Structure 1
Amino acid sequence: MPKDGWSKVNFDGASAGNPDQSGIGCILRDSNALCIKEISKKIGVATNNEAEFRAALRGLQLGKELGVQRIRLEGELLNVINAIHCNSIPTWRLNQWLQPILARLATFDEFWVSHIYREANGEADRLSKLAIAVDDPT
């Protein structure tokens, strides 16, 4: 649960193959752990890593859209978390998603980025997989 005055985004990306049809899931919660908004969105063909980066970015965008100033970002893929902490350098393809994540983080008054185990990220995981399963009417 985030501290008072903070919000938390849990994010996850899923791919039916690698690459294949993919989806993202994000949940924004307030400091009482109440869900403010959740997103489940199909993103087309992507790798699982790309879907994770895109889910992180969308979660941060959601926080900004809803006026959040202090945000905690939690995801289960260490590749993404390490890249955000500048502990690793992603491929050029993934870097196109990392740079906007870093830029978006800089717009918050305060932020915290951390790894979370898959077992504790079940809702974001469910939303990312739901996005793949749902037929797109367009």
Structure 2
Amino acid sequence: MEGWIKLIFDEAAKGNPGATGYGCIVWKDTRDIMDSVSGNTGIASNNEAEEMALARGLRFCVDNEFTSVEIEGDSQIIINTTKNNLTPNWKLRRYLVDIAMHLNQLQNYKIYHTFREANKAIDYLSNVGVSLESYTEKILTFDWQNELKQIVNDDLAESVYKVKSEIV
């Protein structure tokens, strides 16, 4: 959507709970990557890491005064928790408060579950996060962003091929 920013977030976990990491990508509607980051969340559950990724991406959007954000994630639990601003899990409540605060600072947002078009790129970032030192973050440089953009484009081409293959 023109004028909107897209935020895609995901986590990677080596056990549940276990070593976790996250990744998020923020890009313009022109597919120009504005922010891409991997982070290590220490030992956590997959849902905690997923919410940390969403909070980190939203913080970037708010800090940069973006007002309209389209949000995609592959965890139906986290999407529903965020939409309803409610969770029975006490460990997730603290992250949900942070997420709600950021969402309230946006003028417009849409959040939905998806199998997402940037599957490989966001999975890559999440796994980089797991490999980092505990509780550290790596903001990717321009060269990494170009590599990510290529992964996204390759994934889009593959997705189109899969859809066409299923139709035939």
**TM-score relative to the length of structure 1:** 0.89
1:75 aligns with 2:66: no
Aligned partner of 1:132 in structure 2 is: 130
2:53 corresponds, among 49, 52, 55, to 55
Deviation, 1:66, is 2.1
Contact 1:23/1:44 (<8 A) preserved: yes
The residue type equivalent to 2:56 in the other structure is: R
Q: Which residue of 2 aligns with 1:114?
A: 112
Q: State the 1:98 CA deviation.
A: 1.1
- Write the deviation string for residues 38-79 of structure 1: whole angstroms up to 9, x where unpaired: 001112111111100110111100111222111011100000
Change (3 A) 1:87 1:61: closer
Contact 1:23–1:41 (8 Å) recurs in 2: yes
The structure whose residues are more often helix, as a share, is 2
The list of structure 1 runs, each at least 4 consecutive aligned residues, that deviate by more than 4 angstroms after superposition, is: none
Secondary structure of 1:33's aligned partner: coil
Q: Which amino acid aligns with 2:82?
A: I
Spell out, residue by residue over 1:103-136, the C-alpha distance to the aligned partner (whole angstroms, 9 max, x if none). 1101011111011116643212210111112456
Distance, in Å, in 1 between the alignment partners of 2:63 and 2:57 is 10
> Residues 34 and 48 of structure 1: is their aligned pair in 2 closer, same or farther, counting only changes over 3 Å?
same
Q: Distance in 1 between matches of 2:132 and 2:87?
A: 33
SS at 2:15 equivalent: coil
How far residue 83 of structure 1 moved from its aligned partner, in angstroms, is 0.7
Q: Of the two, which has the highest radius of gyration?
A: 2
Other-structure match for 2:37: 39
Unmatched segments (≥5 aa) in structure 1: none
Give the Cα–Cα distance (whole angstroms) in 1 for the partners of residues 9 and 76 of structure 2: 13
The answer as to 2:23 corresponding to 1:25 is: yes
Amino acid at match of 1:4: E
Distance 1:133 1:118, change over 3 A: farther
CA shift digits 1:88-113 (9 cap, x unpaired): 63411111111211111010111110
Unaligned runs of 5+ in 2: 137-168
Identity value in percent: 33
Secondary structure of the residue aligned to 1:85 is helix
Which residue does 2:8 correspond to in 1?
A: 10
Residue type of the alignment partner of 2:25: I
